[in-house]
Amino acid sequence: MNFKIDNRTYEIIRATDVDRDGIGIELWDRDNQKLILEIFRHDDKKKLMFSCDKGELPLEVVERFLREFEERVGRKFQEDNWED
């Protein structure tokens, strides 16, 4: 999902990670092709982690990113249902 704020183009991508056992979303600055934010839900650790690689962002960008996380990923941890 792409959107523009203050003449900058951003993209939010949902991504899973088998190695980290979870799912998250990433915010990319498409003008610079750079990952700038990530929220990752570690299902095995039962933790939510936030990573940021940019000093300043418009608050509107961060609010939209948080809203997308709640709608597309959520805070409910997934349980492993593996049987031995």
Residue 81 has pLDDT above 80, yes or no: no
The pLDDT value given to residue 82: 55
Tens digit of each residue's pLDDT (9 = 90 or more) over 40-72: 999 999 999 999 986 789 999 999 999 999 999
The pLDDT value given to residue 1: 84
For range 28-35, the mean pLDDT = 95
Q: Please list, residue by residue across 7-21, b when 16 or more beta carbons sit within 10 angstroms of its beta carbon and e when fewer do.
A: eeebebeeeeeeeee
pTM score above 0.75? yes
